[in-house]
Structure 1
Amino acid sequence: MTSRATAKPSRAPRSSSAAERLRGIDAARGLALLGMMATHLLPTFESNADLTPTWIGLTFSGRAAALFAVLAGIGLALSTGKEVPAEGARLGAARRGIALRAAVIAAVGLTLGGLEVNLAIILVHYAVLFLCVLPFLGLKPKALCAWAAGWILVSPVLAYLLRPWLLASNPPLKLGHNPSWEDLSTPGQLLGDLFLTGYYPVFQWMSYLLVGLLIGRLPLTRALVPWLLVAGGTVLAVFTKSLGVTAMESWGGRTALEDVLNAPNYPLDSVLQVNLTGVPQEGSWWWLASAAPHSGTTLDLAHTSGVAAAVVGACLLLGRLADWLDLDLLLPLRGPGAMTLTLYTVHVWVVAGFYLKPLPAGWTEDGMYFAHAAAAIMVGTVFVLLKWRGPLEWLGHGANQLGRMERNTRR
């Protein structure tokens, strides 16, 4: 990467270089990491007795993880041709590299799955998403737009129909814990959990990778595109969330679902605002009208995709502003965003060390979060300034390069 100090400030407003675009993407990824840490460490409800959603739950729940997944799709697009997808042997080599990189991510996720920790670890699902999206890497924006829209519309309906059948199996095809190496001995249960019954159902979450691929295939260096992402993403997010709330509160959806649950004291109104995971979404088609975080419905997928698009657009615009001012405004975010796999892994490992144990004397949940966030920012900043890869990023990059090298050996 060339130094920005040698560039003429007058050139910055006219165009953004590839490096500037990556700074904006890394910044968005850093924001996603800090948001996921917030939902892990800070309460999403006021207390067990008072299930009023906190601002953390209302702001980050469902959105931070979705942003992380959309950015995965953007990263794959940028590494496989940007606006013009790779073809032929280049595309095949890229697919092999991505598959080997996914294997590294899966291995890290399966290892973390053996820890005792009260967190839903995304890495194994993330790796499977990388594999599932391989057939779509060669598609152009129009085709990706059709696939993304179709997946968002259809996958929740199919999941609603298939999930009860999987859960009725004996034993149910649901793990009830994070995937670990031991679960490879029960592949049916593992696959059922990964694709449909788990915390991050790959079947519906493929929508995020397709949306990310679509965004990554856009001409992000053009001045208008980030603005369109912000405007279009915001409109989509507001519309879908408003439609979901109206369906639940004004059209009778929540009342119908409360009747299905048959639990008069269950705080469904609060759960619909923060996290629908763990609630059996069956017995009524009204479940599909919700826009609740982690519900995996069409409205939820569209809302969180819209938020992700708007955040990415905003980060790209901030990158342009930073270049115009000749100041690296995004460094505190793009530092951790450049090594999310390493920092996320360390974060999970540290949280596991405090599982079922009291916090150190004088520490609060807020203090623990700020310690994690500050450490991620400082470590990420140092690595970026020294132009180092994170340790796990180095492994992933090496696996990716190994996959691409096979092509050269066979020619």
Structure 2
Amino acid sequence: MGGRSETPRAGRGTRRRDAAGARLGGVDLARGSALLAMMATHILPTFERDASSSAWSPTWVGLVFSGRAAALFAVLAGVSLTLGRVPAVRNRAGLALRAAVIAAVGLTLGLAEVNVAVILVQYALLFWCALPVLGLRRQALGLLAAAWLLAAPVVAYLLRPALLESPQPLRLGHNPAWADLAEPGRLLADLTVTGYYPALQWFAYVLVGLWVGRADLARTSTQAWLVVGGVVTAVTAKACAWAFLTPLGGLNVLLATDQARVWPLRAMLEANLTGVDQTGTWWWLTTASPHSGTTLDLLHTSGTSAAVIGGFLLLARVGPLMRTGLLAPLAGAGTMTLTLYTAHVWALSLPVADLAHVTRETLLALHVTVALAVGLFVNANGWRGPLEWVAHGASRLGLLASGAPPRTLRR
């Protein structure tokens, strides 16, 4: 009888370890996919001009990845705060120091001359903003996320004109860099409201990620619900935006604004609304356009992010795929996104006179191949990426400062 009782316990333990491994593996796969999708949006155009008609139209990258890739990155930031040997709720000091490392890397990348909206400083700010809510229960997080999704875009719409119409518009117009610390008011306004990734709206993604991460992600039913619920949410948001803009006439109002005379607005509404000052009419809040920061945009991209996370969690349960290593390169890249993202942006800033003959597609293939190869090599050896190592050291330092027992500091 004693022998029979030990076997089931061992089996349950093995299943729990396998489920936890699949959970972490699925999150790494989702991170890797977010990284590669962001590379695509950085290198390939999101909309292009037709040579014959001179009209602008969105590209496949703009239709598929624009807005969704960066949103997935941000939602995964929230999910990551609930994972690991020592969750962030038990190591707030470590999270704050880790975010400081990310901000320092972002400010340094801001010195590079590159046509990429670097997300790292805003990413760090989102981590700092998460510190007060880490201890909330899942139900409270869900309610707060819902309220934030509804209210933040309205608050941003009301604040944006005052910030942009001041004697010196509170917008950087470039990636945050160390020199911008000399103008803290302008920097803060850009990071929170007027910049590329306004934290006022983007904090909703972190809240959604925290809510998702607090679920039992090892359960197949949870993973399936993430896929189904995410797809339904994404489709519903787009359907509502279409109803507002087409049958109800919102698109005609937007195309009559001053912004439509400056930008190819019809194409940008489909591919990327970055740079457009959404002021002057409340109809801006009815779009679900990529990077519009509206409620419908946040709902759509939160839905696609949840569906991708759920899908990769389900995929990670497929034993042959994981055991044979077919997904190992993508998972490896997902374990060191900070290093690979930084290297990717830095590489794009290098002089390319000798590579003038290289197409954008070839350049993207090169970046993706290197990222997958490096991620696979580093992860296969049980290492961390160099910047992940620094961030992990900052987190450990936070644990030591909080007086955590040594056993919690093991890798």
Match of 1:311 in 2: 308
Question: What CA RMSD, in Å, does the superposition of the two structures yield over aligned residues?
Answer: 2.3
Give per-residue Cα distances to partners, 1:253-279, cap 9 Å, x unaligned: 110112222746853221100111111
SS of equivalent to 1:37: helix
In the other structure, the counterpart of 2:250 is 253
Task: Confirm whether residue 268 of structure 1 aligns to residue 265 of structure 2.
Answer: yes
Q: Deviations over 1:229-262 (max 9, x none)?
A: 0000000001101111221122101101122227
Q: Name the SS of the counterpart of 1:108 in structure 2.
A: helix
Deviation at 1:156, TM superposition (A): 0.2
Matched to 1:41, the amino acid is I
Match of 2:3 in 1: none
Q: Cα–Cα, structure 1 residues 231 and 173, in superposed 2: closer, same or farther, change >3 Å?
A: same
Q: Which residue of 2 aligns with 1:404?
A: 399
Q: 1:52–1:270: 8 Å Cα contact kept in structure 2?
A: yes
Q: CA–CA distance in 1 between the matches of 2:249 and 2:171?
A: 31
Do the aligned residues in 2 keep the contact of 1:342 with 1:392 (CA within 8 Å)? yes
The residue number in structure 1 matching 2:382 is 387
Q: How far, CA to CA, are the matches of 2:201 and 2:248 in structure 1?
A: 25
Residues 183 and 325 of structure 1: CA distance in aligned 2, closer, same or farther (over 3 Å): closer
Do the aligned partners of 1:248 and 1:289 also contact (CA within 8 Å) in 2? yes
Q: Residue type matched to 1:74 in 2?
A: V
Structure 1 residue 289 displacement after superposition? 0.3
Give CA-to-partner distance per residue, 1:295-316, whole Å, 9 cap, x none.
0000000000000000000000
| DSSP 3-state at the match of 1:46 | strand
Task: Indicate if the aligned counterparts of 1:39 and 1:61 stay in contact, CA closer than 8 A.
Answer: yes
Match of 2:367 among 368, 372, 377: 372
- Structure 1 window deviating more from structure 2 (244-253 vs 382-391): it is 244-253
TM-score normalised by the chain length of structure 1:
0.91
Aligned to 2:33: 31
SS at match of 1:218: coil
Shift of 1:328: 3.3
Structure 1 60/324 Cα, relative in aligned 2: closer, same or farther at 3 Å?
Answer: closer
8 A Cα contact 1:179 1:190, kept in partner: yes
**Equivalent of residue 220 in structure 1, options 210, 217, 220:** 217
Q: Give unmatched runs, 5+ long, in structure 2.
A: 1-9, 407-411
Worse-matched range after superposition: 59-68 or 41-50: 41-50
Report the TM-score, using the length of structure 2 for normalisation.
0.91
Structure 2 SS opposite 1:353: coil
Matched residue type, 1:105: I
Alpha-carbon spacing, 1:12–1:299, altered in 2? closer, same or farther (3 Å): farther
Shift of 1:323: 5.7
Distance 2:80 2:259 in 1: 44
Task: Give, in angstroms, the shift of residue 321 of structure 1.
Answer: 1.1
C-alpha separation in 2, matches of 1:213 and 1:249: 35
**Residues 229 and 303, structure 2, Cα contact 8 Å, conserved in 1:** yes
Residue in 1 that maps onto 2:4: none
What is the letter of the counterpart of residue 57 of structure 1?
G
User: Aligned partners of 1:196, 1:120: CA distance in 2, in Å?
Assistant: 15
Match of 1:78 in 2: 83
Equivalent position SS for 2:318:
helix
**Offset, 1:17:** 2.7
For 2:154, the equivalent position in structure 1 comes to 157
Verify: 1:342 aligned to 2:335, yes or no.
Answer: no
Identity %: 53
- 1:117 paired to 2:114: yes
* TM superposition shift of 1:14: 8.7
Q: What is the SS of the residue equivalent to 1:43? A: coil
Aligned-residue offset at 1:409 = 7.2
**Where do residues 223-302 of structure 1 align in structure 2 (5 Å cutoff)?**
223-261=220-258, 263=260, 266-302=263-299
1:9 Cα deviation after fit: 11
Partner residue of 2:63 out of 45, 58, 61: 58
Alignment coverage as a number of residue pairs: 394
Gap runs ≥5 in structure 1: 1-7
Q: What amino acid maps onto 1:76 in structure 2?
A: L
* Structure 1 CA distance for aligned equivalents of residues 218 and 271 of structure 2: 35
In structure 1, C-alpha distance between the alignment counterparts of 2:111 and 2:254, rounded to whole Å: 35
Distance 1:15 1:384, change over 3 A: closer
Residue identity opposite 1:25 in structure 2? V
Shift of 1:104: 0.2
Tell me, in whole angstroms, the C-alpha distance in 1 between the residues paired with 2:114 and 2:360: 16
User: What's 1:3 paired with?
Assistant: none
Judging changes above 3 Å, is the alpha-carbon distance between structure 1 residues 266 and 114 closer, same or farther for their aligned structure 2 residues? closer
